[in-house]
């Protein structure tokens, strides 16, 4: 019994230690994205929406999308990789022109179509899942637009300020 309690306490402490604030996770996620793209050059990446079962996550999704776009662009410059990141404004213009509904964004076929419209070779997209009131789980994938193949991705748990 004592060993089980110690194991549970250690597991809880380790899970708490691995959960970071969303801003720290964005920087780590940018580097994780570049790890996936390490051997890829002369490509364009579009950071796409991060969907959630909770419709109230639009603001968090936008925050993550903008943050990842910036962090990935900074990491690319630092690492001197031959990759480009498409800005949020370009994605919004395409979305507006095509009049896509939010529900269509979840569809993988739509993601590929939008990537083609943008001239993007790759899309970074994912899902947000709330673990509790302050802790969220992000599961992201880098998808090759032409084939729909998932090249890799990352998973992080993070906490956000709810006040």
Distances (CA, A) of 129 to 54, 56, 60: 8, 12, 11
Residue listed under structure tokens 């940018």: 30
pLDDT of residue 4: 39
CA gap 64, 25 in Å, rounded: 10
Q: Is the pTM of this model over 0.75?
A: no
The CA-atom distances, in angstroms, between 46 and each of 27, 50, 51, 69, 120 are 17, 12, 15, 8, 6
Compare 86 and 19 and report the one with higher pLDDT.
86
Check residue 53 and report its DSSP letter. Answer: S
Q: How far apart are CA 75 and CA 83, in angstroms?
A: 10
Average pLDDT of the residues of the chain: 77
Confidence of residue 122 (pLDDT cuts 50, 70, 90): very high
> Residue 7: CA atoms inside 13 Å, Cβ hemisphere, count?
4
Instruction: Give all domains of the chain, ordered by start, each with its CATH number.
Output: 20-159 (3.40.50.10610)
pLDDT in tens, 21-45: 888 899 999 999 999 998 888 899 9
Report d(CA 146, CA 121) in Å as an integer.
7
């Amino acid at each position: 019994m004592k060993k089980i309690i110690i194991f549970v306490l250690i597991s809880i402490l380790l899970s708490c230690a691995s959960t970071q604030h969303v801003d720290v996770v964005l920087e780590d996620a940018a580097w994780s994205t570049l790890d996936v793209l390490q051997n890829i050059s002369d490509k364009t990446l579009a950071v796409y929406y991060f969907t959630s079962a909770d419709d109230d996550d639009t603001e968090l999704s936008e925050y993550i999308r903008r943050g990842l776009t910036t962090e990935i662009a900074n990491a690319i410059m630092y690492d001197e990789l031959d990759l480009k990141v498409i800005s949020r404004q370009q994605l919004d213009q395409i979305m507006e022109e095509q009049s896509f509904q939010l529900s269509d964004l979840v569809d993988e076929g739509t993601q590929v179509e939008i990537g083609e419209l943008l001239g993007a070779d790759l899309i970074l997209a994912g899902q947000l899942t709330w673990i509790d009131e302050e802790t969220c789980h992000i599961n992201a994938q880098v998808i090759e637009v032409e084939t729909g193949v998932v090249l890799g991705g990352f998973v992080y748990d993070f906490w956000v300020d709810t006040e």
